Chain A
Amino acid sequence: MVSDGKLVLENGSSVAVVGGGPAGSFFAYFAKMFAERLGTDIRVDIYEPRDFWSPGPIGCNMCGGIISESLVQNLALEGIDLPESMVQRGIDSYVLHMPEGSCHIATPLQEKRIAAVHRGGGPRTVVESKWDSFDAFLLKLAIEKGANFYNARVKEIGWSDGRPEVQAADEKPKPYDLLVGATGVNSPDLKLFEALGFNYSRPQVVKTYITELEFGSELVKKHFGSSMHVFLLNLPRLDFAALIPKGDFVTLCMLGRNIDKELISSFMEHPQVRRRFPPDWVQPANYCRCGPKMYFGEARQVFADRVVLVGDSGVSRLFKDGIGAAYKTAKAAARTAVFEGISAAAFRDHYFKECLLLNRDNRFGRAVFSVVHLIKHMKITSNSVLRVVEKEQDLPGEQRHMSMVLWDTFTGSAPYKSIFARSMKPAFLGRLALAHLGAYRRTSADGTDNTVAGRQAGG
């Protein structure tokens, strides 16, 4: 109900959210919260065909399932606490593995501030969930705030008298004042928005590989602890990989080009990977795996009068913290819709600013990952990085420059721009150059294996 031709949300206005993952639930939650603060009563309907409550992969959103430090802190500030029944493991450190060796990097505060979760009811072998699903937790928050949930696939979206309308399976089309797209990049519903006639086109994507390795909670604790394991190995086509410990499972995420059976097998058999696993462990035949698409470059035209796209289907962060980006974009869109209006101009002037910030930050992200890629292929530089990080572990937190740059790069805890700026500081570059020179001298002087790997192998 938008009166006098003004494109604003008023008492009785209605909003349809297509997609009940984090972006959709965050949008619904914040739209209801902001409207409540203003004393405006709006109706928010969420359409989501998946079931996040049942055990097994039926509600899986095909994701690594890491909630970044910054998002955990933001949610605490919003009054949203992530319960122990849902967080499968609190992460307080990471281990960087390179062919030249490994190093353990702890947070300066020695505090668990990263959450490892399953987005749905767990992998396919789970018949009874021990932990709650993250997506179910967020959807429940939105419902408790007053949003309506329709467990149905949207069959059609279109226009009627200048207003968007949504038709769920077996239902009549329903008109709305605002339509929100929160489908992610793996949903067939994206084409419905592309056909809506406002020049939206989906974001660029890359294919990833995700699999769940079942060890049981004791072995997960013994072999992986509360550390995320990041692998920068010199395997062709592999950019990087991570092992994320959870409850009974460890999630393996691989990112690269044309990830196929051969590359997966090379990775799993690599000595640096193999030594993480229990010696007699064999991967079961029916393990859960998928090759989802991941956001890589921005979508075109993510808003129009009465329409906005949030989360991965609009703009996200490069390689990391997609859930954090869903929170940011969904909240910015909700803030715009409630306080500024639902016209294209309002979304352009307010919501799109947030998208531009993410886009610009992703440019720095590409530069950061190019450097990571380069380091991976240069043995002496890899060694220098490992040596600097090793030495830094004895320093106070604020002086662990290299460790913190790597921590933020692989956990998504800080904007890429901040990581880039810190890695360009003369002190940072100077320390790396000195370590580099030292490593070069040692290698060329005595010909012995003075690499970190050599020392680690020799005890």
Chain B
Amino acid sequence: MDTGSLGKRYGDGEVIVREGEIGDRMFFIRSGHAKVTRVIGGNEVHIADLKEGDIFGEMAIFEREKRSATVRASGEAVILSIDKTGFLRRMHEDPSLVFRVLQQMSERIRRLDTELATLKSSM
């Protein structure tokens, strides 16, 4: 039933967002997985993995900065994009709409805290 698929289909390794680009939307993973990488000292470093139901690309919308990382599909992935203007308008009308975005950001901060603590303790 491919006719019923919403969003855009990305093949394995296909770039969804590229580090350094201007961001005008965020993304919701409808199915599949994605890999987040960042170029540090000329090397591409794997930062995180994303899964179905995850939202990404929100930092470029909230901070008006360039994309901080590259996100590629890991295997086939279906991604729904969420427009910046529409999202901001709807968020101002109904702030509870960002509850899940905040929840996911909070989970990421908690994970980063744990990783930072592990790194510091091993130094």
**A81/B53 contact (C-beta < 8 A), A86-B4, A89-B4 known:** yes
Q: List A contacts of B98 (CB < 8 A).
A: 77
The reply to whether B90 and A70 form a contact with Cβ atoms under 8 Å apart is yes
Kindly report which residue of chain B lies nearest to residue A89, judged by CB atoms: B3
**A111/B3 contact (C-beta < 8 A), A77-B28, A77-B97, A78-B97 known:** no
Q: List A contacts of B1 (CB < 8 A).
A: 84-85, 130-131, 247
Contact of B5 among A76, A84, A130, A131 (CB under 8 A): A84
A88 contacts the other chain (CB 8 A): yes
Alpha-carbon distance between A115 and B81 when the two chains are bound, in angstroms? 14
Q: How far is the CB of A193 from chain B (nearest CB, A)?
A: 26
Alpha-carbon distance between A352 and B100 when the two chains are bound, in angstroms? 25
A400 contacts the other chain (CB 8 A): no
B64 contacts the other chain (CB 8 A): no
Within 8 A of A (CB), among B1-47: 1-8, 28, 30
Kindly report which residue of chain B lies nearest to residue A82, judged by CB atoms: B6
Q: How far is the CB of A417 from chain B (nearest CB, A)?
A: 11
Q: List A contacts of B82 (CB < 8 A).
A: 73, 76-77
B: interface residue count bin: 20 to 34
Alpha-carbon distance between A76 and B53 when the two chains are bound, in angstroms? 8
Alpha-carbon distance between A427 and B100 when the two chains are bound, in angstroms? 39
The reply to whether A247 and B96 form a contact with Cβ atoms under 8 Å apart is no
The reply to whether A77 and B101 form a contact with Cβ atoms under 8 Å apart is yes
Q: List A contacts of B55 (CB < 8 A).
A: 76-77
Q: List B contacts of A211 (CB < 8 A).
A: none
Interface size in chain A (residues, C-beta < 8 A): 38
Contact with A along B84-123 (1 / 0, CB 8 A): 0011001001101111110000000000000000000000
Q: List A contacts of B97 (CB < 8 A).
A: 74, 77-78
Q: List B contacts of A73 (CB < 8 A).
A: 80, 82-83, 86-87, 90
Alpha-carbon distance between A221 and B100 when the two chains are bound, in angstroms? 36
Q: How far is the CB of A82 from chain B (nearest CB, A)?
A: 6
18 contacts between A and B (CB under 8 A): A70-B90, A73-B80, A74-B97, A76-B28, A76-B80, A77-B97, A85-B1, A87-B4, A87-B6, A89-B3, A90-B6, A109-B81, A111-B80, A112-B5, A113-B80, A130-B1, A247-B3, A247-B4
Told that A113-B80, A414-B86 touch, could you supply 19 new A-B pairs with CB distance under 8 A? A37-B99, A69-B86, A72-B80, A73-B80, A74-B90, A77-B82, A77-B101, A85-B4, A88-B4, A89-B4, A90-B3, A111-B81, A112-B8, A113-B7, A113-B81, A131-B1, A221-B3, A328-B94, A335-B96
Chain A positions near chain B (C-beta within 8 angstroms): 34, 37, 69-70, 72-74, 76-79, 81-82, 84-90, 109-113, 115, 130-131, 217, 221, 226, 247, 328, 331-332, 335, 357, 414
